[in-house]
Structure 1
Amino acid sequence: MMTAPHIEENRSHPRLPALLGAYHLGNQAEKGTVVASVGELPAVYRAEAEDPAAAFAADAVLLATAPGADEPAGCVVLKAPREGRAPEIKRLWVEPGARRKGLAKALMAEALRRAAASGASAVRLTVWNWREEPLALYRSLGFETVASWDDRPDLLCLERPLDMVERLSPEAVRAHAPAGLAELLVDAVDGGASVGFPGPLDPAEAASWWTGVAEEAARGVRDVWAAHGPDGRLTGVVTLVRVGAANGRHRGEIARLLVHRSARGRGLGRRLLATAEAHAAATGLRLLVLDTQTDSPAERLYRGAGWTPAGTIPDFAADPSGTLRATTLYYKRLP
């Protein structure tokens, strides 16, 4: 089995000035403004190469060492978010002799992981449109072109949500049931959410429930979307159940909208909900319904997303501790 590159954070590493200097010299050459040495670089770039610890004092500087090597051959900078903007990835560089060893991908994975851990909902970067290889890497990691925040010609601005949302096939639901999906359900019950199970929830029972969902997905009566973080771990899920009655095929039900407690606070629940709503509308549904525990945090999400409360039923369901709680019914008309 191939060993992964070693990643470390160290803005004062003795190899870092040479890596940043090589990055900037190569970048200047690509732009057609060749300079012979770091001392001839524009002042802002020269400062980074000469004293990276000062230039990136507020940022995370990561270095990558290939398996079996003695010193780092790649670097990347994760800029801290400023003025409400998303954190930005910059200065990705791998020495030519160390390429094709996974260093760039490992550096990006760690930068994405740290950005997600900071609570940010997205991360961004810029890349020259002629840099085909880095651009291909960014695209493969889920970055998409967005409106420019930098008006320099030929510079692309890219952004990636830190939790990627995708529809799961029945086979994927079945594959994720024993681990990621079961963990989301267990975490929800452990956190006190009333999602149909008393606590504590046995992971095997949670996995069995999701296996049943996979069968429903195979029959076309339930759609499933999951979010995963940069490390591939599932961070959220939502399902859309279709009504089987002939006089109710115009409506569906949002069920099991779950966001892991470690991934909350960055808008993931709203994105999952919006994804399910958009699919429902695109497939001909005109009305959605759901129910949620009264006075729970989920109510703020649904009201903020345009859902209308239809009424409250007292003592509707027991929470994980066994206490009976009221439930509020919601609906939303689709365009």
Structure 2
Amino acid sequence: MNVLIEENRSHPRLSDLLAAYHLVNQAEKGTPVTAVAELPAVYRGEAEDPAAAFTADTVLLATRPGDDVPVGCVVLKAPHEGRAPEIKRLWVAPEARREGIAKALMAEALRRAEASGAPAARLTVWDRRQEPLALYRSLGFETVASWDERPGLLCLEKPLGRPADRVERLTPDEVRAHAPAGLAALLVDAVDGGASVGFLAPLETTRAAAWWSRVAEETAEGVRDVWAAHGPDGGLTGVVTLVRAGAANGRHRGEIARLLVHRSARGRGLGYRLLATAEAHAAATGLTLLVLDTQTDSPAERLYRGAGWTAAGTIPDFAADPAGVPRPTTLYYKRLG
């Protein structure tokens, strides 16, 4: 269908579309209201005066061929404080669904975000909304570390203007080959950035390379699996490892260890992709439980919570950060299957 997409935050039909969106959303959240006047103030303002509510944003409307009344809308929020532009308020009237209108609105919003020079676009969606979630994933959005801690709300992001990093499992020989440079550089960068990954700063490249050489031996023994992300230039941008429990009574269990994303490659969902890849392999090879630990209140915690991991408890002063200061550690687990 050749849908007409136009930018118009002052169209008289927009108020009706936004009102319908917010009324349905309130009902889905378990706090139904029957009229726009009963909506929370911020949502009421959007429905009553969209032009004022979205004065700095791009509002797109979709109209079917032969019609003169828009049946769908989406808002592309202006970038704020250096963050990627956010897509919000995607809505298609019930009578116009299953016609590709939502996809057309999203495609135009993404085109405009990319034309603006934005490196990525982001959005949020409730995990119960499986149909829009499937649409977003089909368009290349991936779950990333949460920037909104409301339970059940997923944060998604899509890189723009560049090919996605390639994630692949490394053989023992490939781990050995990458140990002196790419893998060592990732570990040094993590320690320099303040990540608590078992080393104190400054970490010498030779010591980091030696650690990865030992990992290569564990990989050859079947104890540890390694996945690396390759950027467009072939350089390593991230890595994650999965360690299998050695005890006879723990062979159903694995540990996620050394999830590292280079600081230059952050903000495009790469950490989640690496984590999801390791989780999928763990499940496919018979593991039913994964565990990990991370420094309490670190950025990594947002990633794990957003990816469905459950905090089991916190141990005070468990490990020193790269500066040598003891910090608390939170233990996480995730059931598979």
TM bucket by the smaller chain? 0.5 to 0.7
Q: How many residues align?
A: 196
AA aligned to 1:279 is H
Q: Secondary structure at the match of 1:303?
A: helix
1:300 pairs with 299, 302, 313, which one? 302
Does the 8 Å contact 2:114/2:120 carry over to 1?
no
1:22-72, Cα deviation, whole Å (9 max, x unpaired):
xxxxxxxxxxxxxxxxxxxxxxxxxxxxxxxxxxxxxxxxxxxxxxxxxxx
Residues 86 and 237 from structure 1, CA distance in 2 versus in 1: closer, same or farther, beyond 3 angstroms? farther
Q: Secondary structure at the match of 2:110?
A: coil
Equivalent runs, 1:242-257 vs 2, <5 Å: 242-257=244-259
In 1, the alpha carbon distance for the partners of 2:139 and 2:335 equals 34
User: Offset of 1:258 from its aligned partner?
Assistant: 0.2
Equivalent runs, 1:261-276 vs 2, <5 Å: 261-276=263-278
1:287 pairs with 289, 296, 319, which one? 289
AA aligned to 1:226 is A
Does the 8 Å contact 1:178/1:207 carry over to 2?
yes
1:86-117, Cα deviation, whole Å (9 max, x unpaired):
9889xxxxxxxxxxxxxxxxxxxxxxxxx9xx
Counterpart in the other structure of 2:30: none
Counterpart in the other structure of 1:182: 184
Does the 8 Å contact 2:310/2:332 carry over to 1?
yes
AA aligned to 1:83 is A
User: Offset of 1:264 from its aligned partner?
Assistant: 0.2
Counterpart in the other structure of 1:22: none
AA aligned to 1:192 is G
Residues 147 and 313 from structure 1, CA distance in 2 versus in 1: closer, same or farther, beyond 3 angstroms? closer
Counterpart in the other structure of 1:316: 318
In 1, the alpha carbon distance for the partners of 2:204 and 2:114 equals 40
> What TM-score do the two structures reach when normalised by structure 1?
0.55
Residues 302 and 147 from structure 1, CA distance in 2 versus in 1: closer, same or farther, beyond 3 angstroms? closer
2:166 pairs with 164, 170, 184, which one? 164
User: Offset of 1:183 from its aligned partner?
Assistant: 0.2
Tell me, yes or no, if structure 1 residue 84 matches structure 2 residue 110. yes
Q: Secondary structure at the match of 1:171?
A: helix
In 2, the alpha carbon distance for the partners of 1:82 and 1:197 equals 46
AA aligned to 2:285 is T
Residues 86 and 161 from structure 1, CA distance in 2 versus in 1: closer, same or farther, beyond 3 angstroms? farther
Q: Secondary structure at the match of 1:162?
A: coil
Does the 8 Å contact 2:244/2:253 carry over to 1?
yes
Residues 313 and 148 from structure 1, CA distance in 2 versus in 1: closer, same or farther, beyond 3 angstroms? closer
Equivalent runs, 1:1-335 vs 2, <5 Å: 83-85=109-111, 119-120=119-120, 162-335=164-337
Residues 310 and 164 from structure 1, CA distance in 2 versus in 1: closer, same or farther, beyond 3 angstroms? same
In 2, the alpha carbon distance for the partners of 1:82 and 1:236 equals 31
Structure 1 runs (4+) deviating above 4 angstroms are: 85-89, 146-149
In percent, how many aligned pairs have the same letter? 78
1:231-273, Cα deviation, whole Å (9 max, x unpaired):
0010000000000000000000000000000000000000000
In 1, the alpha carbon distance for the partners of 2:113 and 2:229 equals 20
Does the 8 Å contact 1:119/1:265 carry over to 2?
no
1:150-205, Cα deviation, whole Å (9 max, x unpaired):
xxxxxxxxx98521100000000000000000000000000000000000100000
Counterpart in the other structure of 2:133: none
Residues 204 and 87 from structure 1, CA distance in 2 versus in 1: closer, same or farther, beyond 3 angstroms? farther
In 1, the alpha carbon distance for the partners of 2:110 and 2:277 equals 25
Q: Secondary structure at the match of 1:83?
A: helix
Structure number with larger C-alpha Rg: 1
AA aligned to 1:194 is S
Does the 8 Å contact 1:86/1:120 carry over to 2?
no
Long gaps (5+) in structure 2? 1-106, 122-136, 141-160
In 2, the alpha carbon distance for the partners of 1:316 and 1:85 equals 47
Counterpart in the other structure of 1:9: none
> What TM-score do the two structures reach when normalised by structure 2?
0.55
Residues 161 and 290 from structure 1, CA distance in 2 versus in 1: closer, same or farther, beyond 3 angstroms? farther
In 2, the alpha carbon distance for the partners of 1:272 and 1:223 equals 12
